[in-house]
Amino acid sequence: MEPDIVPDKLENKINYKIILLIVGITVFFQVSLYYIDSEENRNLIIYVVSIINPLVASFASFLVAKRYTSSKTFSRAYYALGFGYVCATLGEIIYVVYVVLELETFPSIVDVFFFGLYPFVLAHLIINIRFFKPKIKSLELLWMALIPLVVVSIYITSSFEGDADLPFYFGVIYVLEPAIVLPLAILGAKTFRGGVIGNAWLVLVLAIITLTIGDVWYSYIEIFDHYDLLHPVNMFWYAGYWIVVYALYKHKEGV
């Protein structure tokens, strides 16, 4: 059996201007929404953008996976990432359907699809980290366990009001999943710093962290029914998915 091959060309530099451009466009888009008088038109734009973003990220993931045919490890990792963003895309589509039909969106089947995103992202991280870092030190395991414990504990103590209903438990899942992914993403950033995968993977970690912050923030505001389509938390998802696309472009560029 031939060993997995990692192309040397992946050690290309990060163009921070592109990341700043993504952030700038995201802020401009968010501010522009406030100037659209028609709520119907504004919501339609938000729905379309929210569906396109993870859809493009999933397509880019599958494209990179296909180009990694010489490496079973990386091919599996990027197919997993692609399927995760497919779940997010389906979640966005079903969310729109529920809104149009005036059905309750939280908690609902919509959340199940969004929950499906993180197991695939987790699989992507684990496959990559195991390949480059077979053993994890005890101190690393400690802080990796503490991060989700602290994040979930803060969520429970700040949102629990004596009635552990279904929305509360769904909120716990929304916080727990990204809280588990976050320390693995940080570990990945440390593992690949200056390594063979290099900067392209670090940009992907930045994107995962950006999306994770958005999901955790959403969990807090949704439990108190403070979320709406104009909430600034959306900017973390808008920017996060396009940073994913940029990271995957850099992988494609080096394959």
* Closest-CA residue to 96 (of 53, 56, 55, 43): 43
| 6 assigned to some structural domain | no
| 7 assigned to some structural domain | no
- At residue 12, the pLDDT reads 58
* Closest-CA residue to 84 (of 49, 124, 51): 124
Q: Which of 8-22, 34-48, 235-249 is least confident?
A: 8-22
| 1 assigned to some structural domain | no
| 5 assigned to some structural domain | no
Kindly report the pTM of this predicted structure: 0.86
Counting Cβ atoms within 10 Å, is residue 200 exposed (0-12), middle (13-18) or buried (19+)?
A: buried
In sequence order, the 6+-apart residues with CB closer than 8 A to the CB of 36 are 42, 45
- At residue 78, the pLDDT reads 93
| 148 assigned to some structural domain | yes
Overall number of domains in the chain: 1
Residue 5 has pLDDT above 70, yes or no: no
| 4 assigned to some structural domain | no
Query: How far is the C-alpha of 208 from the C-alpha of 199, rounded, in Å?
Result: 14
- At residue 7, the pLDDT reads 47
Q: Which domain holds residue 182?
A: 12-254
CB 129 within 8 A of CB 191: yes
Query: pLDDT tens digits for 27-58?
Result: 999 999 999 999 999 999 999 999 999 999 99
| 100 assigned to some structural domain | yes
| 3 assigned to some structural domain | no
